[in-house]
Structure 1
């Protein structure tokens, strides 16, 4: 079975018809009772019985009136059988004596708890996410799962756990996507949740990581590691710049012919320049008062 619209009629029109039928049937019953009391015979009794049945049917018909609020659906069941859904807001009349289950179509959000899992590198991390979703298929939301809200919560936590296990907290290369790459991780989490919740008639609009941190027991060690990585990256940048400056200096000297250096003197100059440029402390220059070769 699949989602389909339920039979419905304008509620105000049917309310007026049923009220008129009820009042008219009541008047006929009263008239028939009076006629029978005056010796009107069997015909008056039969008319009264028919009018009474019509009045009871009209009263039962009043049970078919239903109000549907905006961003809401009513799933209609007739003695356990699904006969359709009403998603348009308004006042309607549908099949009487039916069960009309309310399904909210409003946008909702759910924030998972802080989950403690091991990332792709085996480091324990704490992670949480917020999921924005809405029900788009009232039939699946009502009958495919027991409780679609609880289903979304369970699948959200499962998806977040799975995401954390296949990505590292922090990536030191451009090959792997880390949990700190917000846009890519959010898109991947949203896609996975859409696949998981489609069974329940749920559309996931957005999913984002709201909390990400190393577990307390390794947080200090990871902080030291991150600081070391930053120091290494900074020193690598300094060395790269220093090598470029040394090459530029040697090329400039050669182009202008200021001094001719053999390979040994070039190596000494390169060594001295790299020490000056790459050192983390101010250098103390030594002035050579003699010949360049002494």
Structure 2
């Protein structure tokens, strides 16, 4: 890989003044009928002076090569003059946004999911960006897609099927973004590119399993709610029995306690309103 070399060429204003002087001199020679000299001076002004003038805008650079050899990179904005025979390639130093397309991949468990990422990147080494890869924009696009696919294979979508998972694509957005940014920087370092930010912008189950996974999530939520209701109901029944025993309101044998517990659990855990039944007899008649 090439090592970036930053250079500062001479000011272009002096070269522009020389160009004007040469053009005026060529005109004077033509008027004085010294046509050959005028043509030579005019050609020298355009070929050796004018063609070497370059303008570098803010957050831009010019990569210079002379007869196939890397000369250096002009990163300072301004008006300069360089060797007219150098090849000048403009390279932007601005930050780029890559809005990745939605990819259909399998997560760690094997469930098909749709995932996409937004990546902010910029060039930090112009020499590597120009000479190490064929097309650095295309290189970023392809490597970003590969990194997102690899990341999706490392983690499950959520922990419904993998309860031991500490990081999931849905629940661990911050950790996933950090890992994605790290992997992208490793992949794009060859091209002299730095990733400033990388985040998952779209995440969903694939359409063919989305309905089934929604049912799984709903079932999981119902089970969790029922578990909480049962735990609360058991606590309330226990408290009721303790209070009845402490205040000697009624003496209950084991069979009556079992009947009371059964009735209270039905009332407290049922998902429908209960219709009370008045018992005028006893449990034994």
Which ranges of structure 2 fall in alignment gaps of 5 or more residues?
none
Larger Rg: 1
Quickly say closer, same or farther: Cα 1:286–1:139, change in 2 above 3 A.
same
Compute the displacement of 1:124 (Å): 1.3
Q: 1:232 aligns with which of 219, 223, 238?
A: 223
CA deviations on 1:225-264 (whole Å, 9 max, x unpaired) are: 2222222122122222222322333343344443454555
1:249 — aligned with what? 240
**Alignment map for 1:1-294 (pairs within 5 Å):** 1-20=2-21, 23-24=24-25, 56=44, 59-172=47-160, 173=163, 175-181=165-171, 182-290=173-281
Deviation at 1:17, TM superposition (A): 3.3
Q: Mark the CA change 1:284 to 1:13 in structure 2 (over 3 Å): closer, same or farther.
A: same
Q: Secondary structure at 1:106's aligned position in 2? A: coil
| Residue deviations 1:249-283 (CA, integer Å, cap 9, x gap) | 33433444434545554444333222211112222
SS, match of residue 195 in structure 2: strand
Does structure 2 conserve the Cα–Cα contact (< 8 Å) formed by 1:18 and 1:62? yes
Report deviation, 1:59.
Answer: 4.3
Q: Unaligned stretches of 5+ in structure 1?
A: 35-47
Q: Note if contact 2:47-2:84 (Cα within 8 Å) is conserved in structure 1.
A: no
TM-score with structure 2 length normalisation? Answer: 0.84
1:11 and 1:254 map into 2 onto residues whose CA distance is 101
Distance 1:74 1:255 in 2: 90
Kindly indicate whether the alpha-carbon contact (under 8 Å) linking 2:180 and 2:198 is maintained by their aligned counterparts in 1: yes
Q: CA deviation at 1:216?
A: 2.4
RMSD: 3.1
> Cα–Cα, structure 1 residues 149 and 285, in superposed 2: closer, same or farther, change >3 Å?
same
User: Residue by residue, what CA displacement relative to the aligned partner does 1:141-195 show, whole Å, maximum 9, x if unpaired?
Assistant: 1112111110111011111111111111221336332221233322322222122
Change in CA separation of 1:261 and 1:197 when aligned onto 2, cut-off 3 Å: farther
1:7/1:94 contact within 8 Å kept: no
Report the TM-score, using the length of structure 1 for normalisation.
0.82
Q: Compared with structure 1, are the counterparts of its residues 184 and 265 closer, same or farther at alpha carbon in structure 2 (3 Å cutoff)?
A: farther
Query: For 1:18-70, what per-residue CA distance to the aligned partner results, in whole angstroms no more than 9, with x for missing partners?
Result: 43356457768988959xxxxxxxxxxxxx79xx6898378413322111122
Q: Secondary structure at the match of 1:121?
A: coil
Q: Is the 8 A contact 1:14 1:93 kept in 2?
A: yes
The structure-2 alpha-carbon separation of the partners of 1:128 and 1:58, relative to structure 1 and needing over 3 Å to count, comes to closer
Q: 1:74 to 1:252 in 2, by over 3 A?
A: farther
Q: After alignment, is 143-152 or 173-182 more displaced? A: 173-182
8 Å CA contact 1:21–1:55 kept in 2: the answer is: no
In structure 2, relative to structure 1, the CA distance for the partners of 1:262 and 1:54 (3 Å cut) is same
